[in-house]
Structure 1
């Protein structure tokens, strides 16, 4: 598979939603993406990671998925935000605990600045975050950051030892689950 033709998203949750654990919420979020026409080609295991920037907040369940869609990057970002809303995402304080966070990490290797939709590709902080890189490496071991050209192993090696050690796999690879009305 040509890594430059792939689309990658990151998923995260550290608050239960309607009785679903954060890891389970990620599976239902994948199911909602499928319902909206986004094909899930591969998904990582959930990774348990400390909350950032405040490690006293509940830990996160993080994962990455490779997806396929005919949507352009702006339209896909809109779908990601709509799915966050379905799962009760309350936007307010940056980096606060949340039921669901969906980020567009890489859209077919495109590099673009912030447009009117607020979209920057690749995601501007993904290459420095263990909670993105470690699950991404599971499904895209040959991925390279489109900006720096560095491969994922080199990016992971550049993370701090504490950052790498704080993240650990927490279950089998995610699988999409169908969302019932009312999520």
Structure 2
């Protein structure tokens, strides 16, 4: 465990991990495990890790089922540096970005950095308000925080319930537990843990 320098300002960071392709490893579980280990070697302190869950592919029919997990971290890095680290880990794992929401060996999403709203509340609301068709074809050219879809996605909120049920969304004002409780029970029924 790394020593925390009390003279610096640290943020609580939430990251979602997923994958649905095997690639060079035996299973998507290995990619998630290796990504967490690699992330732990950066300037980030991994404080908590969820179980790994099997989740249906999203959008439906876009590929094999996923495995998903989440980690909670502490760091003084700015969001842009965290994103750069996540993209580097994805790239080393063999992640390609040929089309939006394609099957992938590893997907690392920065969900939240403390209560930061990036780049501002208006841009956040623009992206959070997109309908599904626009979500499928458009990608922001800038970092949007908190993740504009996290409150809608069972594959994000179920792992977050393991590690951060009391984290409060800085725009919606709801905790992870409250967002989880608002999900469709049918969506929750399709998710189950594959690791402890």
Q: Under a length normalisation based on structure 1, what TM-score does the superposition of the two structures give?
A: 0.86
* Structure 1 residue 141 corresponds to structure 2 residue 177: no
Q: Which has the higher contact order (CA 8 A, sep 6+)?
A: 1
Say what the alpha-carbon RMSD is for the aligned residues.
Answer: 1.9
What is the rounded CA distance, in whole Å, between the counterparts of 1:131 and 1:140 in structure 2? 14
Larger CA deviation: 45-54 vs 143-152: 143-152
Residue 130 of structure 1 contacts residue 156 of structure 1 at CA under 8 Å; is this kept in 2? yes
Gap regions ≥5 residues in structure 1: 173-183
| Aligned partner of residue 6 in structure 1, secondary structure | strand
* Structure 1 residue 93 corresponds to structure 2 residue 117: no
Q: In structure 1, what is the equivalent of residue 25 of structure 2?
A: 19
* Structure 1 residue 40 corresponds to structure 2 residue 25: no
Residue 25 of structure 2 contacts residue 31 of structure 2 at CA under 8 Å; is this kept in 1? no
Q: In structure 2, what is the equivalent of residue 107 of structure 1?
A: 113
* Structure 1 residue 152 corresponds to structure 2 residue 176: yes
What is the rounded CA distance, in whole Å, between the counterparts of 1:163 and 1:92 in structure 2? 28
Shift of 1:35: 2.4
Larger CA deviation: 98-107 vs 10-19: 10-19
| Aligned partner of residue 70 in structure 2, secondary structure | strand
What is the rounded CA distance, in whole Å, between the counterparts of 1:93 and 1:117 in structure 2? 15
* Structure 1 residue 74 corresponds to structure 2 residue 80: yes
Q: Between Structure 1 and Structure 2, whose CA radius of gyration is higher?
A: 2
What is the rounded CA distance, in whole Å, between the counterparts of 1:33 and 1:153 in structure 2? 26
Q: Under a length normalisation based on structure 2, what TM-score does the superposition of the two structures give?
A: 0.80
Q: Which runs of 4+ in 1 moved over 6 A?
A: none
Residue 11 of structure 2 contacts residue 76 of structure 2 at CA under 8 Å; is this kept in 1? no
Deviations 1:135-177 (A, max 9, x none): 00110121111110012222112212221111111111xxxxx
Q: In structure 2, what is the equivalent of residue 171 of structure 1?
A: 195
